[in-house]
Amino acid sequence: MQVPKIRGCALSWWLVAALMVCQLKLSEASDCSATAVAKDGSRDARDCDEVDPHDVLRGFATKKVKGKTEKVPAIHPNFDYIKGSRWLWNNWREVEFTPEGNFVAPAENCDQPGNAACKWTATEDSLIVHFGGAGTHTLHVDDRSMTGVRDSDGDAVSAVRV
């Protein structure tokens, strides 16, 4: 039997089996729930079928719309004022941060909302832009300007609100 590897580390067969059993048990549980506790002490309880831990790690949350669960970028409330705004990116062209978490820009196939490679999310103190083939950018924002870097090579990026 071939042993799975995660980033160069071999997993023991018993660990893989244990994880599979736990996943099976969780998927069978009908009364399963999870509670997220924020730094401010607020709590958000959800049913397990609403939470995909892989999506959380990728910067997505889930929300129910008319009984249907859909993935949406997780945008921290500190950045609600960015939703629907337009910015001049690197003194080049205007980009838009849609309320749904789409990043719309005239390059890298980001010219129409809905491209999964063109999204924005926000943590408590950083804005993260997935700019298609240009990669992920991490920015710090004040009311009218953003500064940061492209994560892959440290190339500087800036934007001003228009």
Residues 98-155 pLDDT 10s: 999 999 999 999 998 889 899 999 999 999 999 999 999 999 999 899 999 999 999 9
CB atoms within 10 A of CB 54: 7
Most confident of 28-32, 56-60, 73-77, 126-130: 126-130
In the predicted model, what is the mean pLDDT of residues 20-30? 47
The residues pairing with 111 across neighbouring beta strands, listed in sequence order, are none
Q: Measure CA 116 to chain center.
A: 11
Residue 57: predicted pLDDT: 41
Q: Which two tokens stand for residue 42?
A: 């607020």
Considering 18-32, 50-64, 68-82, the range whose residues carry the highest mean pLDDT is: 68-82
| % of the chain surpassing 90 pLDDT | 49
All residues at 6 or more sequence positions from 78 whose CB lies less than 8 Å from its CB, including other chains:
122, 124, 125
| For residue 56, pLDDT beyond 50 | no
Evaluate if residue 29 carries a pLDDT over 60: no
pLDDT mean over 89-93: 96
Mean residue pLDDT of the chain comes to: 75
DSSP 132: G
Q: Which two tokens stand for residue 39?
A: 């730094």
The residue with tokens 């804005």 is 127
Kind of pairing between the strands at 43-47 and 127-131:
unpaired
Can you give the pTM of this predicted structure? 0.58
Q: Is 109 left (phi over 0), alpha (psi -120 to 50) or beta?
A: left
